Amino acid sequence: MDFTIKFIFDIAAFTSVMVLIVLGLGVIASMMGIFNFAHGELVLLGAYTVYLSDEYGLGPWPGVIAAPFVVGLIGLVLERTIIRRFYKVPIIAMLGTYAVGLIIREIVRGLLGGHYKSIPEPIEGAFSVGGLEFSWWRSLIIVTTLLVIAGSYLLLSRTSIGLRVRGALENPMLARACGISTGTLYALTFAFGAALAGLAGALIVPLYQLSADIGIRFLVQAFLSVMLGGVGTFEGPVLGAAAVGIMASGLPWLVIPVLADPLVFVIALAIVRIRPQGFITVGRL
């Protein structure tokens, strides 16, 4: 029993990390049709914000709280200056965002001198329930992930902003004819996706080291998640990320770890082959 609870907690913690990272990517891919290859670097910038706040003696908390806003703002600027030129050419958008990501990544690498930096957990240690120890920070990540999923879902499906975003996605021409400024909406959506990436980076960096590559190590699995879940809905990528997260953390229990990594891809690609439309087919949002 103890073992099962601990096992579920470990898998839930890693799956939450995966979902957090995929959320922003999924929102941008689903709402705007842009596969944002700079997503990993937006995660990196979130992590870097925490590092800066810690480095300047403020401790990690101000950084964690500021990260979504800082990165959201950077996302807004990126969208207004660069991304908006790519809406008509999604393939070029991949290359363009990749280039943006590369520039951000290498600048941060230069600023860090290529070193890895340790970021302390804002809440250290563990609490025990029934003799089992649970890390505070991992628990906080699980809770925050659930809150963010619920919040984003409500925002997109239950508010008038969400309605407009969905309308602009469904039929941009008609939306514009109804007086909805699609340009502004796209900018806000991109900024929202970027803010989610920033939050993800800020939350996960205490678990890992801050290095310029913190974003790209999750990026390929994040894209796999979006593919697996299906583009065009909010739930799809979330479910996809959960599936990939569970596989990535669960498989090393069953097979040798070096095999587990490629196996995640084999299984995911097999599922995509059977359900090319993803888990969720109809764009309900």
Contact flag: residue 258 with another protein (CB under 8 A)? yes
Contact flag: residue 55 with another protein (CB under 8 A)? no
Contact flag: residue 53 with another protein (CB under 8 A)? no
- How far is it, in rounded angstroms, from Cα 250 to Cα 67? 30
Any idea which residue has 């909406």 for tokens?
Answer: 185
Contact stretch for another protein (CB under 8 A) within 8-16, 38-46, 143-151, 269-277: 8-16
Contact flag: residue 214 with another protein (CB under 8 A)? yes
Contact flag: residue 208 with another protein (CB under 8 A)? yes
Q: Which of 1, 91, 173, 256 binds another protein (CB under 8 A)?
A: 256
Residue type at position 130: G
Q: Which is nearer to another protein, 109 or 176 (CB)?
A: 109
Q: Which is nearer to another protein, 102 or 180 (CB)?
A: 102
Contact flag: residue 80 with another protein (CB under 8 A)? no
Phi/psi at 86 (nearest 5 deg)? -105, 0
Any idea which residue has 């944002």 for tokens?
Answer: 36
Contact stretch for another protein (CB under 8 A) within 27-35, 71-79, 90-98, 246-254: 246-254
Contact stretch for another protein (CB under 8 A) within 37-45, 59-67, 112-120, 185-193: 112-120
131, burial (CB in 10 Å: exposed 0-12, middle 13-18, buried 19+): exposed
* Site size with another protein, rule: CB under 8 A: 42
Q: Are 257 and 277 in contact (CB under 8 A)?
A: no
Contact flag: residue 111 with another protein (CB under 8 A)? yes
Q: Which is nearer to another protein, 76 or 165 (CB)?
A: 76
Phi-psi region of 181 (alpha: psi -120 to 50; beta: other; left: phi over 0): beta
* Window 139 to 178, contacts with another protein (CB under 8 A): none
For residue 233, give the DSSP letter: S
Q: What is the DSSP string of 31-94?
A: HH----TTHHHHHHHHHHHHHHHHHTTS-HHHHHHHHHHHHHHHHHHHHHHTGGGGTT-HHHHH
Contact flag: residue 59 with another protein (CB under 8 A)? no
Reference 33, options 164, 139, 189, 144; nearest CA is 189
- How far is it, in rounded angstroms, from Cα 152 to Cα 285? 12
Cβ 10 to another protein, closest distance in Å? 4
Cβ 160 to another protein, closest distance in Å? 33
Contact stretch for another protein (CB under 8 A) within 58-66, 166-174, 205-213, 274-282: 205-213
Residues in the chain: 285
Positions in the binding site for another protein (CB under 8 A):
3, 6-7, 10-11, 14, 17, 81-82, 106-107, 109-111, 113-118, 120-121, 124, 126, 133, 135, 207-209, 211, 213-214, 217-218, 248-249, 252-253, 256-258, 261
